[in-house]
């Protein structure tokens, strides 16, 4: 169904209600500016009556934005609507969004109102809001658990009272796609003045159907979707902005949004950083694994033709490109591509030999790094041109440490020892004594990559050998061993710089 879909972003209101999420006024303003750059149509900046900080945030955003409509949420209560109007006063394009529950369970136990009282409050709230601004949205809270005939009654009356946008929320994420589509179709057909309003949906994700329900509503005739960046929101969150926008772009290209999709990854990262809520790796569109491939069959297909395993271009959402993650499921094609990217030409029998070693390494490590790949080349070279650690000892006393190392190179054994300020310092100086090359650590980082008493530690370092600064990385249950191996990884690259493989 062709048409333009209004993207209503409620990250700063419903999204901030995610347990653990909290944004300052300054952070909300930054996000709002980025959402405007991304060409979101409407930003629900907050719930003005809820707190002085929300009120100020709406004020600040209203003053700053030029093109995007700024919206404030209000209950169907006079003081709420007045607060929203005050906070939105400076907005170039403003909307008051008022709501009241319409489901039997909400009316009976939460509101303790009759149907007639709910209708009267809704109509009064819309009329009051229209006195402050031209654009008023009305929401039937818990619409998907409401009586359809009652929905038709209240919607018809609030449209007559001046509501130009009617929102049908799946407040508790109870609906499913076919049911959501049928509800929108029913309302568009049976509300006599439905043609005078834009119908909207706001779907929560309690059953994991937020995006699916939103798309079903769009296909049934809804022309606004309320959503959040990264799917943030109360409980299991809301329909995800990036999923809705990209699903329409990929599957229903005639249904347009005005969103600049190239900004999606950037805004997602900003929201994640500011809220402190990390995006799960397998999250659609913006997760770290969304455009990553580890399985050998998939990697081979992507290398030959991206569309074999990617239904959209990573560049379309602001990601630089696909990633071939090297691990135990990777194949020869991905390994050969990685060698090429690192500047090495490896093929034929040599590739087969290194691939066998790669598989052994990948069974031990979850992820294989570039430094590990280079180390495989060193090993294939018969270790003629690089140092291999055979053994080490460290003796530490209050006065200092003494380290001893046994290295192998080109079939020969070399031993060295040195004193240092600590165990790592002493063994690295012992390596220098053997190699004859003095390196200065410009960066040294240690982190745990597994848990428990036998946790593996990963060492990442950079060492300057004269003007050349080289990186090394390794892991071991012994941090001293990991440090030596990482240092040797960097040291051996000096030899590799002048070798064609």
Domain residue spans of the chain: 3-275, 292-380, 388-496
Hey, what CATH topology would domain 388-496 get? Answer: Double Stranded RNA Binding Domain (3.30.160)
pLDDT of 492 reads 79
Rounded average pLDDT over 353-382: 65
Cα–Cα distance between 61 and 71 in angstroms, integer?
10
Percent of the chain surpassing pLDDT 90: 59
**139-190 pLDDT, tens digit each:** 999 999 999 999 999 999 999 999 999 999 999 999 999 999 999 999 999 9
Phi/psi of residue 17, nearest 5 degrees: -80, 0
Is residue 70 within 8 A of residue 81, CB to CB? The reply is no
User: Using one digit for the tens of pLDDT, what is the confidence trace for 224-239?
Assistant: 999 999 999 999 999 9
Homologous superfamily assigned to 3-275: Aldolase class I (3.20.20.70)
SS3 88: coil
Q: What's the pLDDT band for 366 if we cut at 50, 70, 90?
A: low
Instruction: Say if 3-275 and 388-496 have the same CATH topology.
Output: no
Other beta carbons within 10 angstroms of residue 328's beta carbon come to: 17
What DSSP assignment string belongs to 131-175? TT-S-EEEEEETGGGS-HHHHHHHHHHHHHHT--EEEEEETTS--
Range with the largest mean pLDDT of 49-53, 164-168, 404-408: 164-168
With 60 as the cut, is the pLDDT of residue 383 above it? no
Which of the two residues, 202 and 19, has the higher pLDDT score?
202
pLDDT digits (tens, 9 = 90+) for 463-476: 888 888 887 877 77
Residue 68 — very low, low, confident or very high, per pLDDT cuts 50/70/90? very high
Q: Does residue 409 sit in helix, strand or coil?
A: strand
pTM above 0.75, yes or no: no
Provide mean pLDDT across the span 35-63.
96
Distances (CA, A) of 171 to 14, 101, 194, 210: 11, 10, 22, 10
Query: What pLDDT sits at residue 24?
Result: 86
Task: Give residue-wise pLDDT tens across range 111-139.
Answer: 999 999 999 999 999 999 999 999 999 99
User: In 10 A of CB 396, how many CB atoms?
Assistant: 13
User: Which tens digit of pLDDT belongs to each residue from 314-343?
Assistant: 787 887 655 555 666 677 777 777 667 665
**In the predicted model, what is the mean pLDDT of residues 333-354?**
71
* Higher-scoring residue by pLDDT: 156, 297: 156
């Amino acid at each position: 169904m062709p048409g333009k879909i209004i993207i209503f972003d409620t990250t700063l209101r419903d999204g901030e209600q995610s347990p653990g999420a909290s944004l300052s006024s300054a952070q909300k303003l930054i996000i709002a500016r980025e959402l405007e750059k991304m060409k979101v149509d409407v930003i629900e900046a907050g719930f003005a009556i809820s707190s002085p900080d929300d009120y100020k945030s709406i004020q600040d955003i209203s003053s700053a934005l030029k093109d995007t409509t700024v919206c404030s949420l209000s209950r169907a209560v006079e003081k709420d609507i007045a607060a929203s109007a005050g906070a939105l006063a400076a907005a170039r394009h403003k909307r008051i969004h008022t709501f009241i529950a319409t489901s039997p369970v909400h009316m009976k136990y939460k509101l303790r109102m009759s149907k007639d009282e709910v209708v009267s409050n809704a109509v009064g709230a819309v009329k009051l809001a229209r006195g402050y601004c031209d654009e008023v949205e009305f929401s039937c809270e818990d619409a998907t658990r409401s009586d359809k005939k009652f929905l038709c009654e209240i919607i018809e009356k609030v449209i007559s009272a001046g509501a130009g946008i009617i929102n049908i929320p799946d407040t508790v994420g109870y609906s499913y796609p076919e049911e959501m589509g049928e509800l929108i179709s029913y309302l568009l057909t049976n509300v006599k003045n439905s043609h005078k309003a834009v119908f909207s949906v706001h779907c929560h994700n309690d059953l994991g159907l937020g995006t699916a329900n939103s798309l079903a509503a769009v296909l049934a005739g809804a022309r606004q979707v309320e959503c959040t960046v990264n799917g943030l929101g109360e409980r299991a969150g809301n329909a995800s902005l990036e999923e809705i926008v990209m699903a329409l772009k990929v599957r229903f290209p005639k249904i347009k949004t005005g969103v600049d999709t190239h900004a999606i990854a950037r805004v997602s990262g900003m929201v994640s950083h500011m809220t402190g809520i990390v995006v799960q790796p397998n999250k659609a569109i913006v997760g770290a694994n969304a455009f990553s491939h580890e399985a050998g069959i998939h990697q081979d297909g992507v290398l030959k033709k991206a569309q074999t395993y990617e239904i959209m271009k990573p560049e379309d959402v602001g990601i630089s490109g696909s990633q071939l993650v090297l691990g135990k499921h990777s194949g020869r094609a991905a390994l050969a591509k990685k060698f090429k990217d690192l500047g090495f030409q490896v093929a034929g029998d040599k590739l087969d030999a290194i691939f066998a070693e790669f598989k052994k390494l990948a069974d031990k490590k979850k992820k294989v790094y570039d430094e590990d790949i280079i180390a495989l080349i060193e090993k294939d070279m018969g270790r003629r041109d690089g140092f291999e650690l055979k053994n080490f000892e460290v003796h530490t006393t209050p006065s200092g440490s003494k380290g001893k190392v046994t290295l192998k190179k080109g079939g020969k054994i070399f031993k060295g020892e040195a004193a240092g300020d600590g165990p790592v310092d002493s063994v690295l100086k012992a390596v220098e004594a053997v190699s004859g090359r003095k390196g200065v650590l410009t960066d040294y980082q240690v982190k745990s990559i597994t848990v428990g008493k036998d946790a593996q530690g990963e060492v990442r370092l950079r060492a300057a050998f004269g003007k050349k600064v080289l990186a090394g990385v390794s892991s071991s249950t012994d941090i001293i061993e990991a440090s030596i191996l990482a240092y040797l990884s960097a040291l051996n690259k000096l030899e590799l710089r002048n070798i064609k493989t």
